[in-house]
Chain A
């Protein structure tokens, strides 16, 4: 059979962001893959060194739109670690809330796009409509549909009042039933299962070898979640299960994401129940001494690590981040081995790639 290479990307109908794949094909089957990145490099690590600690809160929030809360949150944690700042109790819960609403919307977006890639557009629209309620929460509570601007060094910038709290409770309650409903569809619908079951398999052994993180790891049966392994904010006070699936295919990753979206609602409700009253920020400006620190968190796409080196000035000497997608890229080689051409977009989407934060 003839072997030839086809390009997928950097601009492609099924890819939401630019990435170039050179795929070697034998008939309809993928035999080799080469990934090249760098189309949206913006030099943000360098930009961060030219901005002071406050400005970097905003800059890191612009790294990626879907994990936009995880970045400033982890950045602030890194700064707090180096400065020895303990954030107020109430701020811990408020940080969890901001993290979880983003996880909810991000995971729904990914499974929605999956339906779109399959060609099931009515389901895609339906999922996006459910996600719209999460967007309403973000806009109503935080003031923006994507960038929550919830974090600041030493705490959070926002607070809840009675009106906002009851708005939150109603919105969350309203999302529960539709979420259960679409979970059943993703799990059982013959059209969805036909396209996703047994596709893009990443065996547990390979997942461990490649060090994948987030729903990609959990979809391959690895129960690794930073919220559970090294709790930050108020996660040690809240109860949730680390969601895993054993089939290691596109479908398992989608189911993990959907169950995490449901957990996000429960986590936010727990926060509303347990959140103590009190301040949300310290009342003085922080002083950042020289030193180094690391902070990590569970972004919607997996473990996110921030490294900070300070030299006592008002700008970081070095700020570096290891984003979840960076770890998951390599797994595409394993997932796409011997797959069909038509499954390429589905498999790429199943790692929920975020190119803007990988290339920053």
Chain B
């Protein structure tokens, strides 16, 4: 017992090592993986986040009117692994360091991150389309035609534009590389 006595006395003088929580404050590191959050402005509705999610916590449902997509992340199913954040190509998901997720039993079906990702409208025909082209453009992947124009039209109209361009030009090239 003797060698430990010194440590014991030191620990007694030092006082409790535990934190005062819940009666006092506690420290939360900046990098803590807590409640996930979606920025609908950035989301491309690409679905990679729900593809990598082991818990199956992310559900993406297209709205009946085709106006966009409802993104629903169930906090109670989430394992806080951060894979969605890591693989999201648009940095739309963030694991915040907020860990205050306790809630009443009656709220168990609403304890979700719910966001609506609105699909952009085709400038020409008014149809809704997936927002993934923005991203591609940002990466310079579609560069053959007038980018400002193509960003605002849907794939059908893009095909038309492309066909018209090809009629005009001698060389054939495809402008829609969104699947590549």
A259 interface hit (Cβ, 8 Å): no
B141 interface hit (Cβ, 8 Å): no
Q: Which residues of B contact A147 (CB under 8 A)?
A: 79-81
CA distance A311 to B32 in the complex (A): 37
Please determine whether B54 and A189 come into contact, CB atoms closer than 8 angstroms: no
Choose one: B17, B54, B86; the contact of A59 (CB below 8 Å): B54
CA distance A188 to B2 in the complex (A): 10
With A129-B17, A132-B17 as known contacts, state yes or no: A144 contacts B3, CB within 8 Å. no
Q: How many residue-residue contacts, CB under 8 A, span A and B?
A: 81
Within 8 A of A (CB), among B22-66: 29, 31-33, 51-55
Please determine whether B82 and A149 come into contact, CB atoms closer than 8 angstroms: yes
Range of interface residues on chain A? 35 or more
CB proximity of B172 to chain A, nearest CB, Å: 28
Range of interface residues on chain B? 20 to 34
A61 interface hit (Cβ, 8 Å): yes
With A58-B54, A144-B80 as known contacts, state yes or no: A190 contacts B31, CB within 8 Å. no
Secondary structure type dominating chain A contacts:
helix
Q: Which residues of A contact B86 (CB under 8 A)?
A: 152, 157
Q: Which residues of B contact A120 (CB under 8 A)?
A: 4
Please determine whether B29 and A55 come into contact, CB atoms closer than 8 angstroms: no
A7 interface hit (Cβ, 8 Å): no
Contact with A along B79-92 (1 / 0, CB 8 A): 11111001100000
A279 interface hit (Cβ, 8 Å): no
With A57-B83, A157-B86 as known contacts, state yes or no: A184 contacts B3, CB within 8 Å. yes
Please list 7 pairs of residues, one from A and one from B, whose beta carbons are closer than 8 Å in the complex, sorted by A's number: A55-B83, A58-B54, A123-B4, A139-B31, A143-B95, A147-B81, A189-B3
B144 interface hit (Cβ, 8 Å): no
Please determine whether B31 and A51 come into contact, CB atoms closer than 8 angstroms: no
Q: Which residues of B contact A152 (CB under 8 A)?
A: 83, 86
The interface centre, meaning the residue of B32, B33, B81 with most chain A CB atoms within 10 A of its CB, is: B81
